[in-house]
């Protein structure tokens, strides 16, 4: 899937890289590690091939979103990569449900993380090898909505090599600033749990359809996900928003339709786009207002345009 035009324009100035990226790893290893995760998370982790990466979520019994991650399998270990602010919450959840299973869990909280971001369709190749046996370090690659992410954990001073697949020219990444990183993450539709979600947010409201397997066995919250897929739909959905220039939005603000100024949804979080008179944000809207290019406004009259997402579950 191609990125929205603004995200594509931002990506065209890259690739981008940063040290100290805010992501952390939890390693779950042992004979029953896969079975343990299989009954807790939304993704079919047992079905992952060695080296494969998939997005996943952890829900409560009512289908509400608790945490998100990327899960990948390396030999007998399953690695969960999550945003730094979610790491303690996810580690506590795993410990709470760990009883007599034959497994070990290690929270790699001290491992540094380097990140590279570039277009998914760009003919560039990022080269990042797993660390040799006996040394710390794992690499993870993931692409979503036209944005690809490469991250290396546990190797201080690591640098990605980025080369053209046709001309073999090496490209030198630009600095990935915090605001730009947020714009590109939001362009990929990857939510920050607790900032862009609420305790009542359902997984399928938060654009997490690809995080939820429809073929695996039971997991916590599956009944709600399956019921939505089979019999209904969600009443609101995550949308990518472009807002008129202004300060960052870090607490929910109402979104109003233009005719009667009625509140129809909320923007949860928005940041200024570096070098442009616009903000990128994520918010929730009902079906009638999810259409691409729908015009809305904040309570202060600032213009808002729907730029993507919102497809029904």
Distance, CA of 53 to CA of 254 (rounded, Å): 36
What pLDDT was estimated at residue 271? 98
Listing DSSP states for 274-307 in one string gives TTSSEEEEEEEE-GGG-STT-EEEETT--EEEEE
Identify the CA nearest to 224 among candidates 233, 211, 237, 236.
233
pLDDT along the chain (313 residues), means of 10: 91 91 95 94 93 93 94 91 96 92 91 90 51 63 92 75 59 90 97 96 93 88 86 89 97 96 97 97 96 96 94 58
What pLDDT was estimated at residue 164? 57
Domains, the chain, with CATH or none: 5-187 (3.30.1360.120), 234-313 (2.40.30.110)
Pairing of strands 124-127, 161-164: antiparallel
Q: Say how many C-beta atoms besides its own lie within 10 A of residue 299's C-beta.
A: 11
Judge contact between 102 and 166, C-beta under 8 A. Answer: no
What pLDDT was estimated at residue 170? 66
Distance, CA of 106 to CA of 69 (rounded, Å): 16
Write down the pTM of the prediction.
Answer: 0.91
What are 149-195's pLDDT values in tens digits?
989 888 776 666 665 555 556 667 899 999 999 999 999 999 999 99
- Give the Å distances, CA to CA, from 276 to 107, 117, 124, 179, 183: 39, 19, 26, 12, 12
Identify the CA nearest to 36 among candidates 77, 110, 97.
97
Helical (H) or strand (E) element with 5:
helix 5-11
What pLDDT was estimated at residue 214? 87
């Amino acid at each position: 899937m191609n990125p929205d035009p603004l995200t594509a324009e931002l990506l065209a100035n890259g690739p981008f890289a940063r040290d100290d990226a805010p992501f952390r790893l939890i390693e779950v290893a042992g004979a029953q590690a896969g079975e343990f995760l299989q009954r807790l998370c939304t993704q079919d982790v047992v079905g992952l091939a060695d080296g494969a990466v998939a997005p996943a979520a952890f829900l409560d019994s009512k289908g509400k979103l608790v945490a998100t991650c990327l899960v990948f399998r390396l030999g007998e270990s399953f690695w969960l990569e999550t945003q730094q602010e979610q790491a303690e919450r996810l580690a506590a959840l795993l410990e709470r449900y760990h009883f007599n299973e034959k497994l070990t869990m290690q929270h790699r909280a001290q491992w540094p993380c380097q990140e590279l971001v570039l277009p998914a369709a760009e003919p560039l190749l990022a080269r990042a090898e797993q660390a040799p046996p006996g040394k710390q370090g794992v690499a993870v690659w993931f692409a979503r909505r036209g944005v690809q992410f490469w991250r290396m954990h546990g190797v201080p001073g690591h640098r990605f090599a980025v080369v053209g697949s046709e001309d073999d020219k090496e490209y030198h990444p630009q600095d990935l600033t915090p605001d730009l990183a947020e714009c590109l993450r939001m362009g990929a539709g990857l939510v920050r749990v607790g900032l862009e979600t609420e305790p009542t947010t359902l997984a399928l409201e938060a654009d997490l359809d690809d995080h939820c397997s429809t073929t695996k066995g039971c997991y916590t919250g599956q009944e709600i996900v399956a019921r939505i897929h089979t019999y209904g739909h969600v009443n609101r959905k995550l949308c990518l928003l472009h807002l008129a220039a202004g300060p960052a939005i870090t607490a929910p603000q109402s979104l109003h339709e233009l005719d009667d100024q009625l509140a129809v949804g909320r923007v949860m979080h928005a940041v200024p786009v570096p070098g442009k008179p616009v903000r990128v944000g994520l918010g929730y809207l009902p079906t009638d207002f999810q259409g691409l290019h729908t015009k809305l406004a904040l309570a202060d009259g600032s213009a808002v345009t729907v730029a993507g997402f919102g497809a029904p579950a």
